[in-house]
């Protein structure tokens, strides 16, 4: 157990380990050249742990090397010294592929439309770098670059996948440092979107839908089912006799029964069944639908509807239920939410419906004031005076 200085012969480049700190020069055993030690400071420590000799490079300070050596000896004495192995050098894109195959495909039904999409984005930026080279500072650079072209919510989804990748690298013993994403602050998001379709917009959208997208939109509008649930819907889960769709796999992991109205039944009956597929909405090869954005955006463009996403059909379903007078708990059950708090963000009211509500309130107030006071209210300048006298 010692500190030594590793020096090199300036002539033959042979390596020498010098343990005696009092020496000022040595002679090369190969070429007999005199090697001054004054300007060569490359200190290592040497010790034994678990019966094996360990060597660690420290740097140009002998004092620091001696301090580190003492620390290692204390760790060994307290049985805290772990077998140190050189960390496997893994490139980000290689581990991202392993993550996709062993985690995403196994645990996430929407891996193809979510995990894969964000992993492709992450690989474009981090490809060629080792996991150990990805730092919080580098991730901040990724955030800044992405912020030039996408919204904060999209960046946050990518960071969530990146964080999960590093968590798995830690769990699978492929990475030993702290997760760098933990040191990166997420963007603040505004999730309370008030976008849903009015009745007139619903009609325009349906008139603009062609092919498979039309029954998909009809079922979404009348059930509030998520796109992922629709893509995975099988004929076995559709019960025409009980007028119910049975969803065994949902976002929150709980099975859900979805009642069918006449619009849903008609739309489903008109869909031709694929002879080799169990899925209601499938591609020509029988596999579940993939990315539908291009087809859906075409329908939106033809209908003149802007700032709208497929998931907003779920907002539309919930909003019109509320505007029709249904209580929030019923809406919660239909949406499959665990808590009423989650349902509140879907319980938006249209401006027209709000106006109708305050008009009804005015009719209630009419009964409060006397006929003389009602006459005063007719003039805008007398409103405050009449209210102050009540």
Specify the higher pLDDT residue, 372 or 22.
22
38: annotated active-site residue = no
Average pLDDT over residues 372-381: 51
Angle, vertex CA 93, rays to CA 56 and CA 115, nearest 5: 130
Helical pair 312-323 and 328-335, crossing angle rounded to 10 deg: 150
55: annotated active-site residue = no
Catalogue the E-assigned strands of 218-328: 238-239, 244-247, 256-259
Specify the higher pLDDT residue, 233 or 48.
233
Q: Is the pLDDT of residue 231 over 50?
A: yes
The one catalytic residue in 6, 129, 204, 251 is 251
Burial label, 135 (beta-carbon count in 10 A; 0-12, 13-18, 19+):
middle
Model confidence pLDDT, tens digit, residues 73-87: 888 777 655 544 455
Specify the higher pLDDT residue, 361 or 90.
90
Specify the higher pLDDT residue, 29 or 164.
164
Q: What share of the chain is helix, strand, coil (3-state, %, to 5)?
A: 50, 10, 40
- CB-CB contact of 254 with 261 (8 Å): no
Model confidence pLDDT, tens digit, residues 138-188: 999 999 999 999 989 899 999 999 999 999 999 998 988 889 999 999 988
| Mean pLDDT, the chain, whole residue set | 84
* pLDDT at site 386: 46
Q: Six-digit token pair at 382?
A: 């007398």
Q: Which residue, chain included where needed, has tokens 């196994």?
A: 106
Neighbours of 66 (CB within 10 A): 16
Q: Give the whole-angstrom CA distance, residue 24 versus residue 58.
A: 21
Q: Is the pLDDT of residue 376 over 60?
A: no
* pLDDT at site 384: 42
Q: Give the whole-angstrom CA distance, residue 199 versus residue 53.
A: 78
Q: Which residues contact 313 (CB under 8 A, 6 or more apart)?
A: 197, 217, 220, 221
Q: Give the whole-angstrom CA distance, residue 290 versus residue 288.
A: 6
User: E strand or H helix at 7, and its extent?
Assistant: strand 2-8
Model confidence pLDDT, tens digit, residues 179-217: 999 999 998 876 565 688 999 999 999 999 999 999 999
- CB-CB contact of 264 with 218 (8 Å): yes
Q: Name the pLDDT band for 291 (thresholds 50, 70, 90).
A: confident
User: pLDDT over 90 for what percent of the chain?
Assistant: 46
Q: Give the whole-angstrom CA distance, residue 60 versus residue 44.
A: 9
Which is nearest to 104 in space by CA: 115, 91, 118? 115
The one catalytic residue in 72, 314, 320, 332 is 314
Domain boundaries defined on the chain = 2-77, 92-183, 199-344, 359-388
**Which of 1.10.150, 1.20.120, 1.10.287, 1.10.3470 is the CATH number of 92-183?**
1.10.150
Same fold, 92-183 and 199-344: no
pTM flag (> 0.85): no
- CB-CB contact of 30 with 20 (8 Å): no
Q: Name the pLDDT band for 17 (thresholds 50, 70, 90).
A: confident
Which is nearest to 250 in space by CA: 381, 363, 62, 109? 109
The one catalytic residue in 146, 157, 226, 256 is 226
309: annotated active-site residue = no
Q: Name the pLDDT band for 369 (thresholds 50, 70, 90).
A: low
Q: Which residue, chain included where needed, has tokens 């009642």?
A: 259
The one catalytic residue in 265, 311, 345, 353 is 311
* pLDDT at site 22: 80
In this structure, what are the phi and psi dihedrals at residue 156, rounded to the nearest 5 degrees? -60, -35
Q: Is the pLDDT of residue 253 over 50?
A: yes
The one catalytic residue in 47, 99, 279, 346 is 346
Q: Which residues contact 113 (CB under 8 A, 6 or more apart)?
A: 228, 290, 291
* pLDDT at site 375: 52
Q: Is the pLDDT of residue 96 over 90?
A: yes
Q: Which residue, chain included where needed, has tokens 């392993």?
A: 98
Model confidence pLDDT, tens digit, residues 339-352: 888 777 655 554 56
Q: Give the whole-angstrom CA distance, residue 68 versus residue 66.
A: 6
Lowest mean pLDDT, pick from 52-61, 101-110, 365-374, 377-386: 377-386
* pLDDT at site 242: 94
Q: Is the pLDDT of residue 220 over 90?
A: yes
Specify the higher pLDDT residue, 2 or 313.
313
204: annotated active-site residue = no
Most confident of 19-33, 34-48, 91-105, 334-348: 91-105
Q: Is the pLDDT of residue 240 over 60?
A: yes
**DSSP state at residue 81:** -
Q: Give the whole-angstrom CA distance, residue 4 versus residue 17.
A: 6
Q: Is the pLDDT of residue 371 over 60?
A: no
311: annotated active-site residue = yes
Q: Is the pLDDT of residue 266 over 80?
A: yes
Q: Which residue, chain included where needed, has tokens 């670059």?
A: 145
Q: Give the whole-angstrom CA distance, residue 390 versus residue 384.
A: 10
Q: Give the whole-angstrom CA distance, residue 385 versus residue 379.
A: 11
* pLDDT at site 113: 78
User: pLDDT over 70 for what percent of the chain?
Assistant: 86
Q: Is the pLDDT of residue 379 over 60?
A: no
Strands 34-36 and 43-49: unpaired
251: annotated active-site residue = yes
Q: Is 343 helix (H, G, I), strand (E, B) or coil?
A: helix
Q: Which fold has domain 199-344?
A: hpI Integrase; Chain A (1.10.443)
């Amino acid at each position: 157990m010692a500190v030594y200085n590793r020096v090199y012969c300036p002539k033959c480049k042979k390596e020498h380990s010098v343990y005696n700190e009092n020496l000022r020069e040595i002679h090369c055993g190969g070429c007999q050249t005199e090697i001054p030690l004054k300007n060569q400071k490359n200190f290592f420590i040497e010790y034994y742990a678990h019966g094996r000799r360990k060597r660690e490079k420290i740097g140009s300070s002998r004092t620091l090397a001696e301090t580190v050596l003492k620390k290692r000896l204390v760790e060994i004495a307290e049985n805290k010294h772990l077998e140190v192995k050189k960390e496997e050098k893994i490139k980000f894109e290689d581990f991202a592929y392993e993550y996709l195959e062993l985690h995403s495909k196994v645990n996430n039904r929407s891996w193809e439309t979510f995990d894969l999409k964000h992993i492709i984005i992450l690989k474009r930026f981090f490809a060629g770098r080792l996991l150990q080279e990805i730092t919080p500072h580098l991730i901040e650079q990724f955030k800044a670059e992405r912020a030039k072209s996408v919204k904060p919510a999209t960046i946050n989804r990518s960071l969530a996948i990146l964080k999960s990748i590093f968590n798995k690298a830690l769990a699978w013993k492929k990475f030993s440092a702290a997760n760098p994403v933990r040191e990166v602050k997420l963007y603040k998001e505004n999730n309370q979107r008030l976008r849903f379709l009015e009745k007139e917009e619903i009609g325009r959208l349906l008139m603009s839908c062609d092919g498979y997208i039309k029954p998909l939109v009809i079922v979404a509008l009348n059930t509030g089912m998520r796109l992922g649930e629709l893509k995975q819907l099988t004929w076995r889960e559709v019960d025409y006799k009980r007028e119910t769709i049975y969803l065994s796999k949902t976002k929150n992991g709980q099975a859900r029964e979805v009642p069918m109205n006449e619009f849903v039944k008609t739309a489903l009956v008109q869909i031709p069944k694929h002879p080799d597929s169990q899925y209601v909405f499938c591609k020509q090869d029988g596999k579940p639908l993939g990315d539908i954005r291009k087809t859906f955006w075409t329908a939106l463009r033809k209908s003149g509807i802007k700032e709208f996403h497929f998931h907003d059909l779920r907002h539309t379903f919930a909003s019109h239920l509320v505007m029709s007078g249904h209580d929030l708990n019923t809406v919660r059950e239909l949406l499959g939410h665990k808590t009423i708090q989650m349902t509140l963000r879907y319980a938006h009211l249209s401006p027209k419906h709000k106006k109708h509500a305050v008009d009804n309130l005015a009719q209630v107030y009419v009964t409060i004031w006397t006929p003389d006071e009602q006459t005063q209210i007719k003039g805008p300048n007398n409103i405050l005076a009449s209210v102050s006298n009540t």
